Amino acid sequence: MNRLTERTAVITGAASGIGAASAVRLAAEGAAVVLADIADERGAALAQEIQDGGGRAAFVRCDVSSEQDWYHLRERAHRLFGSVDIVHSNAFTHTYGPAHKLSPGDWDRDIAVNLKAPYLAVRTFLGDLRATRGSFVATSSVHALCSLPGYPAYAAAKGGMCALIRQLAVEYGPDVRFNSVLPGPVLTENWQDVDEEGRLLSARATALGRLGRPEEVAAAVAFLASDDASYITGTNLTVDGGWAVKKESK
Ligand code: NAD
């Protein structure tokens, strides 16, 4: 498929997992991709890999909680590929623990990386997205819908992100479409500390009986970014193998 030829996409958290799969997929569909992350080596290596495969790609260091880094990112993206048509806001951080044990500093950092970042992304790229009648996709999470102990700031940010997406769709339509994906358990670097038993438990909690692959979320991102989703805005799309709908009861 070449749904994104002539377009430029910025993807945050693109050095790993879902962001990396999104960068690879959007590039495979014809977009020039700007990979933004704080993991310099991995991000630069993936950009090189995409280039070696014939794609157009560049890595730009960007801490998504920093307003200054966003402006730098826009400047670099413009210089490299011209104006931006697609933004995939995907980077995240998470401090584990119940609310009373989370320090105010941890709370602030989690909210800044997970929720302030998409707002900064919009401030930075709204002009581009309006001019190109572009598409904005955020990575939220099933934690916006269902609760597991130990995720207060993360869940609050991801829930806020879904509300923010609806708000932005209304605010900036008809020029720009805003949507999000809500992944369930998807096997990425993020799962490296989860043992086999924990993985099996999560797999069994889905209707499809398995963990997801980052490429399966990237496929949904590419769809929402493309004209195939031209009448879809303000949607928060669950990509979770049925995790959020499965319940067990005797
Ligand atoms: P990952 O750990 O594989 O990748 C996250 C990337 O974000 C890393 O490359 C990291 O360097 C980057 N990052 C962290 N802080 C950053 C910052 N301040 N600025 C820029 N980049 C930063 O994670 P993943 O599993 O691919 O998660 C991607 C998205 O999917 C996140 O938004 C996450 O909340 C969401 N998600 C993942 C799962 C899952 O099971 N993997 C489930 C639900 C939601």
172 is catalytic: no
Pocket of ligand 1 (CB under 6 A): 12-13, 15-19, 37-39, 62-65, 90-93, 113, 139, 141, 183, 185-186, 188-190
Pairing of strands 32-37, 236-239: unpaired
- pLDDT, tens only, 118-169: 999 999 999 999 999 999 999 999 999 999 999 999 999 999 999 999 999 9
Q: What is the pLDDT of residues 176-225, one digit of tens each?
A: 999 999 999 999 999 999 999 999 999 999 999 999 999 999 999 999 99
For atom 28 of ligand 1, the residue with the nearest CA is 18
* Cα-to-centroid distance, 90 and ligand 1 (Å): 6
User: What's phi and psi for 234, nearest 5 deg?
Assistant: 80, 15
C-alpha distances in Å from residue 50, one per residue of 8, 21, 32, 204: 14, 11, 10, 34
Q: Is the model's pLDDT at 74 over the cut of 90?
A: yes
Centre of ligand 1 from the C-alpha of residue 250, in Å: 36
Output the CA 249–ligand 1 centroid distance in Å.
32
The predicted-structure confidence for 222-239, as pLDDT tens digits, reads as follows 999 999 999 999 999 999
Residue range 43-71, pLDDT digits in tens:
999 999 999 999 999 999 999 999 999 99
Q: Are 236 and 180 in contact (CB under 8 A)?
A: yes
The mean pLDDT of 74-100, rounded to a whole number, is 97
Q: What is the pTM (predicted TM-score) of this model? A: 0.98
Which amino acid residue places its CA nearest to atom 4 of ligand 1?
A: 16
Could you give the CA distance from residue 67 to residue 86 in angstroms, rounded to a whole number? 19
pLDDT at position 1: 78
**DSSP code for 244:** T
Q: Which residues contact 211 (CB under 8 A, 6 or more apart)?
A: 185, 186, 187, 191, 199, 202, 203, 241
The active-site residue, picked from 96, 119, 154, 172, is 154
pLDDT of residue 164: 98
* Residue 250, pLDDT above cutoff 90: no
Domains and CATH numbers, the chain: 8-238 (3.40.50.720)
Nearest CA owner, ligand 1 atom 41: 186
Give the ligand 1 atom nearest the CA of 143.
43
Res 196: pLDDT? 97
Q: Ligand 1, from 40, 141, 190, 194: best to mutate by most atoms within 8 Å of Cβ?
A: 190
Q: What is the mean pLDDT of residues 30-55?
A: 98
Q: How far apart are the first and last CA of the chain?
A: 46
CA distances from 132 to 9, 68, 82, 123, 128 (A): 12, 23, 11, 16, 6
pLDDT of amino acid 78: 98
Q: Do 140 and 240 touch, CB atoms closer than 8 A?
A: no
